[in-house]
């Protein structure tokens, strides 16, 4: 997708800012570092730089502007919109604030409000071509192609040498079937930016639409030579080679796409069609099966696989596949017709007649009420060829994402782990939050073991021999002072480090018996119990996975169910006690929320994540986990806002979640 804007504007503003003597040297330093991060596409790092500036000088609109830019670049459109809103609040005469707020609104498909902001930006700065090109891009997304072209024309009147505007105008022309005009614009874009593969790629598509496949292949080869990790380029070249009857070349390109992106369902689908054409029916069935696994809601892999099975005489297999297609789309007339034939072949005459009649009924209803709906026609028209290749209008993403585009990373989307009190050692990463907890401060100042304690999402990684040596030391210390609760607390922590969970729980219990108000002992005993359950689950093949696609899956041995839930309830009891002793113990609320998620009490979990955020410290994990839970409960807007905040606070895994569940699902 072509960008709305040029990065050069950012350089201009940053240079001006660095030239001004904002009162404190560190602000200037962080602006320079943030500038470098933006230029190197290290957007998450840039956000942290501008966070620091905002903390020091919260009325500096430029800091919000650049942070908003970084968030937008990571597809956090909600977060970007919030920052650009703040920019306008602080400086209502800053045209770029309106433009970028409009861009964010446009990305969230709030087009009418976006157009109002673009008008304001143009009013404040009518000579900036980017105001027109950005509005034109919004018209493009609205499929108002003539209005888009008019705005691109205005931008080019101001500046004739804008390659990205030629790209956008070329795309608009191509959408109006003006392929000749599109080729001309893409050629102009290449003229002004010879080293970008996008112009060659787009021109190749335009040539292909004009059936000039030789020229299309030449352009696509150039695009691939510039970027050989872009799966879309190989996919498109495969289609072009197929048109040139280079079936081996087409197959090789599909293979390359799958090597770079093993989960690309569309490529498996197209490769299956090609394999069937060259007689590799087993390979075709395998590819259709993979496409169906990766995209189980798409009817075409099942329908086409059923056709191959029918051709092989596997009528029952064909019936199963066509039944699956019908289950997904009950108005799929072609599937009923196909299943009717298979049922005749196995002697199910009644079933075959029922399918034939129902297909005829669907076709008649379509013809009477949906005249002109070409999309529906494909599913009722018996002449439509479902073995056609899916061509140039599909979404792909780059296989190499080591360039700062963290929103494209593939991650396992699950809850961030619980937080524990542990020894402060060099192997622990710096926490993404700062905190002061009186009880930890007390033991750090008063303990005689030369240990400092902190809060982390994992226990310190201390060698087993060292742990055992320290356990022996505490045993000796207990002989001198058997009623020192901190010694037992430390033993509990050490035993947890070597997964000696039962001894750990006993040690924490001893600390609590000596000092019933020892909140950290309740907290860590709860955590140890939680870790023990997780360990048992992994050993006994028990797992409950909270996903954000609307499902909870559980795999467990039935005879362990009650034990597991009782143990989670024990964890809750300990966390309740820690919170009772310290109602502002934000980490305890956070951990209790995680446990409630495991117990499927999602409403209670959200309440606890909220309490954790309110009591502090501002823990990014709490925003992340609350965001996941809200998205799971289909409160996507609030969930996405939380994800944006988690990303702002340093959890880069938030951006792939935003991309998948706040952008891609909205498109669907």
Quick check: 534 and 568 in contact, CB under 8 A? no
Fold for 8-227, please state it: 1.25.40
Q: Which of 207, 196, 259 is nearest to 236 (CA)?
A: 207
Q: So what's the pLDDT on residue 637?
A: 87
Quick check: 289 and 271 in contact, CB under 8 A? no
Residues with Cβ within 8 Å of 7's Cβ and at least 6 positions away in sequence, in order, are 38, 39
Q: So what's the pLDDT on residue 399?
A: 38
The conformation of residue 167, written as its DSSP 8-state character, comes to H
DSSP 471-486: HHHHHHHHHH-TT-HH
Side-chain half-sphere exposure of 327, counting CA atoms within 13 A? 9
The shares of helix, strand and coil residues in the chain, as percent rounded to the nearest 5, are 70, 0, 30
Residue 350 has pLDDT above 50, yes or no: yes
CB neighbours (10 Å) of residue 2? 17
Q: What is the pLDDT of residues 117-169, one digit of tens each?
A: 999 999 999 999 999 999 999 999 999 999 999 999 999 999 999 999 999 99
Query: Could you tell me how many residues make up the chain?
Result: 668
Residue 174 has pLDDT above 70, yes or no: yes
The conformation of residue 660, written as its DSSP 8-state character, comes to I
Q: So what's the pLDDT on residue 526?
A: 94
Rg (CA), the chain: 30
**Preceding peptide of 100 cis, ω within 30°:** no
Q: 3-state class of 108 per DSSP?
A: coil
Name residue 422's beta-bridge partners: 454
Q: So what's the pLDDT on residue 533?
A: 84
What is the arithmetic mean of pLDDT over 399-409? 43
What is the arithmetic mean of pLDDT over 339-343? 96
The C-alpha atoms of residue 640 and residue 653 are separated, in whole angstroms, by: 13
The C-alpha atoms of residue 326 and residue 388 are separated, in whole angstroms, by: 20
Q: Using 50, 70 and 90 to split pLDDT, how confident is the model at 370?
A: low
Name residue 544's beta-bridge partners: 554
Correct CATH for 420-545+552-667 of 1.10.3720.10, 1.25.40.10, 2.40.10.10, 3.40.50.10490: 1.25.40.10
Q: So what's the pLDDT on residue 541?
A: 46
Residue 55 has pLDDT above 90, yes or no: no
Q: What is the rounded average pLDDT for all residues in the chain? A: 85
Q: Using 50, 70 and 90 to split pLDDT, how confident is the model at 398?
A: very low
Instruction: Find the farthest-apart pair of alpha carbons in the chain and give their distance in angstroms, rounded.
Output: 94
Residue 19 has pLDDT above 60, yes or no: no
Q: How much of the chain exceeds pLDDT 90, in percent?
A: 61
Q: So what's the pLDDT on residue 636?
A: 87
Quote the crossing angle between the two packed helices 485-497 and 501-514, to the nearest 10°: 170
Quick check: 655 and 47 in contact, CB under 8 A? no
DSSP 37-87: HHHTT-HHHHHHHHHHHHHH-TT-HHHHHHHHHHHHHTT-HHHHHHHHHHH
Residue 235 has pLDDT above 50, yes or no: yes
Q: So what's the pLDDT on residue 248?
A: 97
Residue 387 has pLDDT above 50, yes or no: yes
Q: Using 50, 70 and 90 to split pLDDT, how confident is the model at 113?
A: very high
Determine if the pTM surpasses 0.75.
Answer: no
Q: Higher pLDDT residue, 513 or 385?
A: 513
Residue 382 has pLDDT above 90, yes or no: no
Q: Which of 4, 151, 131, 27 is nearest to 80 (CA)?
A: 4
Lowest mean per-residue pLDDT among 82-91, 331-340, 406-415: 406-415
Q: Using 50, 70 and 90 to split pLDDT, how confident is the model at 524?
A: very high
Q: Helices (DSSP H) in 540-635: which residue ranges?
A: 561-581, 586-598, 602-615, 620-632
Quick check: 305 and 288 in contact, CB under 8 A? yes
Residue 551 has pLDDT above 50, yes or no: no
Q: Higher pLDDT residue, 394 or 27?
A: 27
DSSP 273-314: HHHHHTT-HHHHHHHHHHHHHH-TT-HHHHHHHHHHHHHTT-
Q: So what's the pLDDT on residue 286?
A: 97
Domain residue ranges of the chain, discontinuous segments joined by +: 8-227, 271-380, 420-545+552-667
Q: What is the pLDDT of residues 278-288, one digit of tens each?
A: 999 999 999 99
Q: So what's the pLDDT on residue 373?
A: 53
Residue 617 has pLDDT above 90, yes or no: no
255-269, 403-417, 546-560: which is most confident: 255-269
Q: So what's the pLDDT on residue 30?
A: 84
Tell me, yes or no, if the two domains 8-227 and 420-545+552-667 fold the same way: yes
What is the arithmetic mean of pLDDT over 623-652? 91
CB neighbours (10 Å) of residue 663? 17
In Å, how far from its chain's centre is CA 438?
37
CATH superfamily of 271-380: Tetratricopeptide repeat domain (1.25.40.10)
In Å, how far from its chain's centre is CA 256?
24
Q: So what's the pLDDT on residue 396?
A: 52
What is the arithmetic mean of pLDDT over 363-389? 61
Q: So what's the pLDDT on residue 616?
A: 81
Q: What is the pLDDT of residues 461-489, one digit of tens each?
A: 888 888 999 899 889 988 888 899 999 99
Q: So what's the pLDDT on residue 142?
A: 94
Kindly state the tokens that stand for 643: 């994800």
Q: Higher pLDDT residue, 402 or 217?
A: 217
Quick check: 120 and 113 in contact, CB under 8 A? no
What is the arithmetic mean of pLDDT over 520-543? 79
CB neighbours (10 Å) of residue 421? 23
Residue 348 has pLDDT above 70, yes or no: yes
Q: 3-state class of 162 per DSSP?
A: coil
Kindly state the tokens that stand for 313: 């005489």
Q: Higher pLDDT residue, 640 or 545?
A: 640
Q: Helices (DSSP H) in 195-280: which residue ranges?
A: 197-209, 213-226, 231-243, 247-260, 265-277
Residue 302 has pLDDT above 90, yes or no: yes
């Amino acid at each position: 997708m072509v960008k709305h804007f040029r990065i050069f504007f950012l350089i201009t503003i940053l240079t001006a800012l660095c030239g001004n003597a904002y009162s404190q040297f560190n602000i200037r330093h962080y602006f320079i570092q943030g500038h470098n991060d933006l230029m190197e596409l290290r957007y998450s790092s840039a956000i942290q730089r501008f966070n620091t500036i905002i903390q020091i000088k919260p009325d500096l609109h430029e800091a919000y502007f650049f942070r908003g830019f970084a968030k937008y670049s990571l597809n956090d459109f909600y977060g970007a919109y919030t920052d650009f809103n703040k920019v306008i609040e602080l400086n209502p005469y800053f045209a770029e604030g309106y433009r970028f707020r409009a861009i964010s609104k446009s990305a969230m498909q709030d087009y009418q409000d976006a157009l109002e902001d673009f008008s304001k930006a143009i009013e404040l700065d009518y000579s900036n071509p980017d105001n027109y090109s950005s509005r034109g891009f919004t018209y493009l997304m609205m499929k108002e192609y003539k209005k888009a072209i008019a705005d691109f024309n205005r931008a080019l009147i101001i500046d004739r040498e804008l390659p990205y505007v030629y790209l956008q105008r070329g795309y608009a022309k191509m959408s109006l079937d003006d392929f000749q005009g599109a080729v001309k614009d893409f050629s102009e874009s290449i003229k002004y930016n010879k080293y970008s593969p996008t112009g060659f790629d787009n021109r190749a598509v335009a040539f292909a639409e004009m059936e000039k496949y030789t020229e299309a292949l030449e352009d696509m080869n150039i695009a691939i030579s510039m970027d050989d990790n872009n799966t879309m380029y190989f996919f498109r070249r495969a289609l072009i080679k197929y048109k040139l009857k280079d079936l081996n070349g087409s197959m090789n390109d599909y293979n390359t796409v799958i090597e770079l992106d093993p989960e690309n369902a569309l490529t498996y689908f197209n490769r299956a069609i090609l394999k069937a054409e060259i007689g590799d029916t087993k390979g075709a069935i395998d590819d259709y099966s993979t496409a169906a696994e990766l995209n189980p809601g798409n009817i075409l892999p099942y329908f086409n696989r059923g056709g191959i099975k029918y051709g092989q005489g596997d009528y029952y297999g064909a019936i199963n596949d066509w039944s699956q297609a019908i289950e997904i789309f009950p108005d799929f007339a072609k599937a009923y017709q196909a299943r009717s034939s298979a049922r005749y072949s196995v002697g199910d005459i009644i079933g075959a007649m029922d399918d034939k009649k129902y297909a005829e009924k669907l076709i008649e209803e379509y013809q009477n009420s949906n005249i002109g709906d070409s999309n529906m026609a494909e599913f009722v028209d018996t002449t439509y060829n479902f073995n056609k290749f899916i061509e140039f209008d599909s979404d792909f993403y780059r296989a190499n994402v080591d360039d700062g585009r963290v929103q494209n990373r593939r991650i396992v989307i699950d809850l961030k782990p619980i937080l524990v009190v542990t020894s402060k050692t060099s192997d622990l990463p710096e926490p993404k939050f700062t905190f002061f907890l009186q009880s930890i401060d007390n033991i750090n100042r008063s303990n005689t073991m030369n240990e400092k304690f902190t809060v982390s999402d994992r226990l310190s990684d201390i060698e087993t021999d060292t742990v055992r040596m320290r356990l022996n030391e505490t045993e000796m210390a207990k002989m001198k002072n058997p009623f020192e609760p901190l010694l037992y607390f430390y033993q509990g922590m050490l035993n947890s480090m070597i997964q000696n969970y039962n001894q750990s729980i006993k040690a924490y219990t001893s600390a609590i018996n000596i000092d019933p108000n020892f909140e950290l002992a309740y907290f860590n005993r709860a955590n140890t119990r939680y870790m023990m359950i997780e360990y048992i689950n992994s050993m006994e093949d028990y797992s409950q996975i909270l996903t954000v696609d609307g499902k909870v899956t559980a795999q467990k041995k039935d005879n362990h169910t009650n034990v597991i839930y009782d143990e989670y309830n024990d964890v809750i009891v300990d966390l309740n006690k820690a919170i009772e002793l310290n109602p502002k113990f934000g980490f305890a609320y956070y951990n209790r929320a995680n446990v409630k998620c495991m117990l499927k009490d999602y409403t209670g979990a959200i309440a606890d994540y909220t309490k954790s955020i309110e009591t502090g410290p501002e823990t990014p994990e709490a925003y992340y986990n609350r965001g996941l839970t809200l998205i799971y409960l289909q409160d996507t807007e609030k969930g996405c806002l939380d994800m944006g905040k988690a990303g702002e606070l340093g959890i880069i895994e938030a951006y792939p979640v935003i991309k998948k569940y706040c952008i891609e699902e909205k498109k669907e």
